[in-house]
Structures are given as structure tokens and as C-alpha cells.
């Protein structure tokens, strides 16, 4: 079960895990779920917290994801607060607008950035694995592309020269921060299937 309400994350994670034979459910498939406060001091703390809550409630192996955009000129911000950079109820567009506004007065040489994704895999009996994926890039001067979600239209990937929003989803799912983390999750699921399947003790 993917412990997130972010439809974009669900779409990307499902595309990868389906391909290696795992049945993937979104949190929304189970109706209303109690909100988990993302008040951890690290990505890992938040990812673990979300996955633990979902695994305990549903009796399924859960995958928690906490991700952020880290911009050099902003000393790593928005980081942990990427989803609520412009406020608790901010839209993706409002977050992007604030980001570009904050950067206008800084030299372009400082617009380097990276996306970081930490994933926590938790079984109902407490087995746990935590992995991390990072992709380097820079912030573009304006939004480009109409794919993806979040900060994708302003994040130019170093290895492509294009924003995530300009890339076909298949390509993004091969090179993104989430893809790097998911590759490790896939290795874990393939190597230890009995630990994560329903009905096993998670030892």
C-alpha cells in the first residue's frame, strides 16, 4: 500500500512496482484514513511515520515516501517543507511561483538544486527498510512543460537539459530521485519476498 494522498506519487510508484509483479494499492483505495502529521525533522522520519501508520491500520506492507526540492541559493529550502512552501493549503503553482520569486535576486550560478526522495518500506509485523534517491539539476527561469506535478516544470535535470515536466513519464521514471529510490525498493522486494507478503511474520 502506498502511504500517500499525492496522486502523482501514486502514479509513478505504481508504474514501477507493477512492472516487477507487486499488486499496488493507493491509500485512497481504503476510504478515509487518519491524517498523519509530517512533523519529523528528516525525510526518513516522515516516510517511516506514514508507512508505519498505514501498515498498522491495514495489515499490509506499506511504502512511505517523503521528498523535497533543495535549492542551493536558499540554503536547501524548501526541503522538508516543499509541499507547503507557500502555506499549508498552497497549490503546486503557488509553491513554484514563490520559489521563482525568492530566486530573482540571486545569481543564476546559485540556482543549482536537487530532488531528494526517501522511502520507507514497513511490514505489519515491523520489518523495515529505508532507502534514498537523489537527482541533480537546477532551477529554470520559467516554467516549461506540462507533465509531472509539483516543482517538475521548474526543475531542469542535469543529464537531459530539460525539466521533468518536459520528459515523457517513462523517461522520468527511469532517472528521477523517486526512480533511484524505487530501484532499491524493487531489489528488496525481489530478494526478500516472504518478508513483505501478507500473512508473513516480517521477521
Give the C-alpha separation, 127 to 74, whole Å. Answer: 37
* Domains annotated on the chain, with CATH: 7-196 (3.90.950.10)
CB 124 within 8 A of CB 60: yes
Lowest mean pLDDT among 9-23, 83-97, 119-133, 156-170: 9-23
Query: What's the confidence (pLDDT) of residue 201?
Result: 43
Question: What is the tens place of the pLDDT at every residue in 47-84?
Answer: 999 999 999 999 999 999 999 999 999 999 999 999 99
Mean pLDDT of the chain: 92
Q: What is the mean pLDDT of residues 131-160?
A: 97
Give the catalytic positions in this structure.
66
3-class SS of residue 165: helix
Q: In this structure, what DSSP letter does residue 153 have? A: G
Q: For residue 199, is pLDDT > 60? A: no
Give CA torsion, residues 203, 52, 178, 156, to 10 deg.
Answer: -150
CA-based nearest residue to 34, from 7, 56, 66: 56
Lowest mean pLDDT among 12-21, 92-101, 121-130, 169-178: 12-21
Instruction: Name the residue with cell 519529523.
Output: 40
Render pLDDT for 21-35 as a digit per residue (tens, 0 to 9). Answer: 888 898 888 887 778
Q: Please answer whether residues 120 and 48 qualify as being in contact, where contact means their C-beta atoms are separated by less than 8 angstroms.
A: yes
Contacts of 81 (CB under 8 A, 6+ apart): 68
pLDDT (0 to 100) of residue 198: 67
Amino acid at each position: 500500500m502506498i502511504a500517500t494522498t499525492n496522486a502523482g506519487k501514486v502514479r509513478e510508484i505504481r508504474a514501477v512496482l507493477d512492472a516487477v509483479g507487486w499488486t499496488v494499492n493507493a491509500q485512497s483505495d481504503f476510504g478515509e484514513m487518519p491524517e498523519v502529521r509530517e512533523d519529523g525533522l528528516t525525510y526518513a522520519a516522515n516516510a517511516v511515520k506514514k508507512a508505519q501508520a498505514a501498515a498498522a491500520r491495514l495489515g499490509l506492507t506499506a511504502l512511505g515516501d517523503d521528498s523535497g526540492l533543495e535549492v542551493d541559493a536558499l540554503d536547501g529550502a524548501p526541503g522538508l517543507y516543499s509541499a507547503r512552501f507557500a502555506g499549508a493549503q498552497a497549490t503546486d503553482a503557488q509553491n513554484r511561483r514563490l520559489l521563482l520569486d525568492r530566486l530573482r535576486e540571486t545569481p543564476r550560478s546559485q540556482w543549482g538544486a536537487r530532488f531528494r526522495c526517501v522511502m520507507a518500506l514497513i511490514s505489519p509485523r515491523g520489518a523495515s527498510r529505508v532507502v534514498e534517491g537523489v537527482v541533480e539539476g537546477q532551477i529554470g527561469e520559467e516554467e516549461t512543460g506540462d507533465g509531472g506535478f509539483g516543482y517538475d516544470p521548474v526543475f531542469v535535470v542535469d543529464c537531459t537539459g530539460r525539466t521533468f515536466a518536459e520528459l515523457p513519464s517513462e523517461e522520468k521514471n527511469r532517472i528521477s530521485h523517486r526512480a533511484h529510490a524505487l530501484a532499491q525498493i524493487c531489489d528488496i522486494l525481489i530478494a526478500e519476498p516472504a518478508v513483505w507478503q501478507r500473512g508473513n511474520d516480517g521477521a
